[in-house]
Amino acid sequence: MPPQAPDKIEPKTPGDYLEVMTKAVFQSGMSWRVIEAKWDGFREAFERFDAEKVAGFGPDDVDRLAQDTRIVRNRRKIQATVDNAEEILALYRHHNGFRNYLRSHPSFEETVADLKRHFSFLGDTGSYYFLHVVGEKVPSHEAWMASRR
């Protein structure tokens, strides 16, 4: 039986995008089951993914989170989450909405390429997952996998 596709959400705030992106970042190179099992801890540790609050995290916050057993304590990915929050907010402001930023690209491939340029630890698979979950148009999984060969 093939794995079930992740549930889609209808993002309403920059924090909604940040939460999905952070899950994609932390799932990279890890078992998604481990991340799912700890996700409530991630929500608590990252202030319910309030993008403004996370973007304001400093070195002491990163140090604190690197010791927090509720989450996966990967310092580089924790810092990436802070950096990604800052970038989401910058693009949100520049494009008058993060969805407007995502839809400013002429194709899925160009959207993925731009996401990878702007965000830390977001590769092809993470970008596909992110775009799918936030309700953007993505190719079918089969077509996307075939295009990567």
What's the CATH code of the domain at 59? 1.10.340.30
Residuewise pLDDT in 10s, the chain (149 residues): 445 778 899 999 999 999 999 999 999 999 889 999 999 999 999 999 999 999 999 999 999 999 999 999 999 999 999 999 999 999 999 999 999 999 999 999 999 999 999 999 999 999 999 999 999 999 887 877 788 77
> Which residue from 117, 58, 116 is spatially nearest to 82, judged by alpha carbons?
58
Look at residue 1 in the predicted model and tell me its pLDDT.
Answer: 42
pTM, entire model: 0.94
Instruction: Report the alpha-carbon distance of residue 40 to residue 85 in Å, rounded.
Output: 19
In a domain, 44, yes or no: yes
- Residues with Cβ within 8 Å of 146's Cβ and at least 6 positions away in sequence, in order, are none
Look at residue 20 in the predicted model and tell me its pLDDT.
Answer: 98
In a domain, 130, yes or no: yes
In a domain, 3, yes or no: no
Number of domains in the chain: 1
Residue 38's domain comprises 14-147
Look at residue 47 in the predicted model and tell me its pLDDT.
Answer: 98
In a domain, 120, yes or no: yes
Q: Which residue reads 């494009």 in tokens?
A: 95
Q: How far is CA 113 from CA 65, 68, 103, in A?
A: 30, 32, 13
In a domain, 8, yes or no: no
In a domain, 137, yes or no: yes
